[in-house]
Amino acid sequence: MRICIPTETKDGKSAAVYGHFGSAPYFTIVDTEKDSIEIIDNANAHHSHGMCQPMGSLTGKNINAVACGGMGARAVQKLNEGGIKAYRAVAGTVKDTVELFIKGNLEEITIENACVQHSCH
């Protein structure tokens, strides 16, 4: 399983989860089977509201899921169209988020419960 977690820094498993998917400075990708980390810059971090292009930075990365503090409905829709589910991470580190994901303790983000105007429910 390859999980993409938006982060504030390039600190691997100890990096703090970023509050919002599209504007995160980095994406930390954790491969739970290989116990490996890949960190990529979010080239689309500075975008207009509703113009997030999540698949651009993640193309070819074989992501199965995204776990983040929140994201807008359009980002959820674009990820879902690419076969990727989104989950709401709690504040903490990449390591914390992966552990909760593996246990099945993260809420799925859907179009219905996504952030509106960058303000989460």
pLDDT tens digits for 16-43?
Answer: 999 888 888 999 999 999 999 999 988 7
Indicate whether 61 pLDDT > 80.
yes
Looking at every residue in the chain, the average pLDDT score rounds to: 85
Q: Which residue has the higher pLDDT, 51 or 91?
A: 91
Give the per-residue pLDDT at 48. 47
Rounded Cα–Cα distance for residues 34 and 36 (Å): 5
pTM of the predicted model, to two decimals?
0.85
Q: Which residue has the higher pLDDT, 117 or 108?
A: 108
Indicate whether 71 pLDDT > 90.
no
Count of other CB atoms within 10 angstroms of residue 16: 16
The token pair that represents 35 in the structure block: 């116990």
Amino acid at 66: V
- What's the rounded mean pLDDT across residues 40-66? 70
**Chosen CATH of 2-109 out of 3.30.420.130, 3.90.950.10, 3.30.1490.20, 3.40.50.300:** 3.30.420.130
Count of other CB atoms within 10 angstroms of residue 61: 14
Rounded Cα–Cα distance for residues 93 and 97 (Å): 6
Domain boundaries, the chain: 2-109
